[in-house]
Structure 1
Amino acid sequence: MSDLLGPRDPASGAGWDDAPPRKGFFTDTSVCIGCKACEVACKEWNLVPADQAAGLSMLGSSYDNTGALGASTWRHVAFIEQPKRAGGQDLNLPLFPVGPSASDAVNRAADTAMTGDRSQLGTDTEAVDLGMPGFQLPGQRADRKDERPRTDFRWLMSSDVCKHCTHAACLDVCPTGALFRTEFGTVVVQDDICNGCGYCVPACPFGVIDRRVGDEQTRNVGIAQKCTLCYDRLGAGHTPACAQACPTESIQFGDVDELRERAAVRLATLHEAGVPEARLYGEDPEDGVGGAGAFFLLLDEPEVYGLPPDPVVTTRDLPSMWRTAATAAGALLAGAAVAFLGRRR
């Protein structure tokens, strides 16, 4: 419980001597392309089975097929479609094609897509049916031919992961010691020690950790599972699989202090470029979890990405609760002693 008293180095606080610098992730969502390479690399390296709760079917609201983090989804790429014009369309930057000509072209293309009349495009050439899918922009319903395709939207994509909190409630409540703090400052589950009690599941303020479900062929069924930040790879001096696979460097791995500096520079760059809504999430050592080992640059409010706006370690009040309980117990014992001595007189 001493971890709850204030910001500190988590590895040395856990008893590691001469621990290396704390390792973590900085995820820059502004350059995430939603390729899911991180999800695939994580599953392949860590032998994480397919999520039987989500399956492989689409969720019906986006291109997402995993839904959320869980025992069998340690990296989750969120696809968020917003009814907001992207980039220069909002800013009206010079030399950016946002004038009437662009709008007219979009309208003509939309009318052509709905009616099949190509004359308004300046050509009477008949389209050749190649057997390919129809022209359907995101947001357009195939069964409503009278609807104009949506064009004023943007995608927000973000690869979510366990935050490896400085003050980790999952670790605090684990009764078996299955969850432990590594020398790199990360939080890892030991499969052979976890008894599947599930206390850690409601303790996590981010809803990350969960018990795995599956049939008898599935590994670690009933055991709490989450991202380990590729503890085995760290020990060998390698980069975690997800960061290694990311093609745009949206997922950046390194020393947490250095990543925080890098994130501050990136945030300033975006603000100067006219993206005032950009913000950092989880990097502050003074926040409710003592700062996250995996933090993010977001382009909207945390709630848009399914993140709590002000996460607080759920075991924060335990020390004061124990002190209050001890005080109450002491008062009861004192009262009982006074009553006992009074009777003897």
Structure 2
Amino acid sequence: MLPDPNSLSGPLDPAPEAGWTDAPPRMGFFTDTSVCIGCKACEVACKEWNDVPGSGLDLLGMSYDNTGALTANSWRHVAFVEQPRPAGRPSGRTAEPEFLGMPGAQPPGRAGGAEGRSDFRWLMMSDVCKHCTHAACLDVCPTGSLFRTEFGTVVVQEDICNGCGYCISACPYGVIDQRKGDGRAWKCTLCYDRIGAGQTPACAQACPTESIQYGPLDELRERAAARVATLHERGVPEARLYGHDPDDGVGGDGAFFLLLDEPEVYGLPPDPVVTTRDLPKMWKRAGLAALAMAAAAVAAFVGGSS
């Protein structure tokens, strides 16, 4: 069902809206990029559990990022962004020993071979399907391959997908992709089989720093707000949440993030909007135009025959 343009604000539980009765709490991901170390354990765990084909070795320029983006064969993508350190940020190795919430941890950009360096930092983020509250991919799928689960997540049934590609162009985040030689659409399922059995999604289970956190979405939002407040107190004013607001253009995301810079730096759209928002209005206008044309044709026929 296409969204009502007047209903794209305020909190919404999408599972009951999709017809699920007695639905459990909405589940999702909170990804805290301030503690991501770029280990790619999430990428590996996702591929192993979901039997996702390998992406091959493709070193992209001078980056440690060998996947590049979310694709049909990469349902989790760890981005590496190297940038100058913000002015005023402590540069000493132990200036903020609990900066990341772990005793003895280093501020972002101090890990690896950066000993003695204070002029840059790494921003790392494990990206994933956002499982939007108002999901345009669901609106345009002609076969019912995409469906809303009882946990509020969005899943592709590959055995029903006909490869039309409508969902790919409809996604405001560019998440969904077609697999070469297959033609069907693939993306993160939030490990629907695992969470249905009361287990944690593979990526969150494998994350060694708890950068990827899984649980009831309301609890994750409270935890995320507290984390941002802590970082602000510790002198990180640029920390902000992305995708948590139920009043944004997609009604909020089931997978949201704590970022240390603007969304565009991480390859995320600053103001995502559900792409099917205006379709009901457009169809209404098209219907009225068609009726007007039909009335004019009838009038011309009657006038010409009299």
Interval containing the TM-score (normalised by the shorter chain): 0.7 to 0.9
Aligned partners of 2:136 and 2:170 also within 8 Å: yes
1:336 pairs with one of 294, 297, 300:
297
Instruction: Show structure 2 runs of 5+ residues with no match.
Output: 98-111
Partner amino acid, structure 2, of 1:303: E
Aligned partners of 1:170 and 1:201 also within 8 Å: yes
Distance in 2, matches of 1:174 and 1:193, equals 11
Counterpart in the other structure of 2:119: 152
Is the counterpart of residue 230 in structure 1 residue 230 in structure 2?
no
Distance in 2, matches of 1:267 and 1:94, equals 16
Change (3 A) 1:94 1:193: closer
- Give SS of 2:219's match: helix
Partner amino acid, structure 2, of 1:204: C
- Give SS of 2:91's match: helix
- Give SS of 2:220's match: helix
Q: How does 1:90-169 map to 2 (within 5 A)?
A: 151-169=118-136
Counterpart in the other structure of 1:88: 90
- Give how far 1:257 is off: 1.4
Distance in 2, matches of 1:236 and 1:307, equals 32
Change (3 A) 1:157 1:46: same
Is the counterpart of residue 29 in structure 1 residue 33 in structure 2?
yes
Aligned partners of 2:27 and 2:152 also within 8 Å: yes
Aligned partners of 1:26 and 1:263 also within 8 Å: yes
Is the counterpart of residue 200 in structure 1 residue 200 in structure 2?
no
Is the counterpart of residue 40 in structure 1 residue 41 in structure 2?
no
Instruction: Show structure 1 runs of 5+ residues with no match.
Output: 96-135, 139-148, 215-220
Aligned partners of 2:2 and 2:277 also within 8 Å: no
Distance in 1, matches of 2:193 and 2:86, equals 43
- Give SS of 2:42's match: helix
2:264 pairs with one of 303, 308, 312:
303
Is the counterpart of residue 11 in structure 1 residue 15 in structure 2?
yes
Counterpart in the other structure of 2:205: 244
Counterpart in the other structure of 2:74: 73
| Equivalenced residues, count | 284
Aligned partners of 2:3 and 2:276 also within 8 Å: no
Aligned partners of 2:91 and 2:118 also within 8 Å: no
- Give how far 1:39 is off: 0.6
Distance in 2, matches of 1:312 and 1:85, equals 30
**Per-residue deviation, residues 215-236 of structure 1 (Å, max 9, x unmatched):** xxxxxx2210000000000110
Change (3 A) 1:157 1:10: same
Aligned partners of 1:4 and 1:167 also within 8 Å: no
- Give how far 1:263 is off: 1.0
> What TM-score do the two structures reach when normalised by structure 1?
0.78
- Give SS of 1:35's match: coil
Counterpart in the other structure of 1:186: 153
Change (3 A) 1:30 1:4: farther
Change (3 A) 1:334 1:57: closer
Q: How does 1:213-228 map to 2 (within 5 A)?
A: 213-214=180-181, 221-228=182-189
Is the counterpart of residue 64 in structure 1 residue 65 in structure 2?
yes
Counterpart in the other structure of 1:118: none
Distance in 2, matches of 1:290 and 1:94, equals 36
Aligned partners of 1:169 and 1:203 also within 8 Å: yes
> What TM-score do the two structures reach when normalised by structure 2?
0.87
Change (3 A) 1:188 1:249: same
Partner amino acid, structure 2, of 1:89: S
Aligned partners of 2:76 and 2:128 also within 8 Å: yes
Distance in 1, matches of 2:185 and 2:96, equals 53
- Give how far 1:2 is off: 4.3
Distance in 1, matches of 2:295 and 2:22, equals 47
Aligned partners of 1:3 and 1:13 also within 8 Å: no
Runs of 4+ in 1 over 4 A off after TM superposition: none
Distance in 2, matches of 1:3 and 1:247, equals 39
Percent of paired sites with the same residue: 75
Distance in 2, matches of 1:198 and 1:19, equals 30
Aligned partners of 2:2 and 2:279 also within 8 Å: no
- Give how far 1:337 is off: 3.1
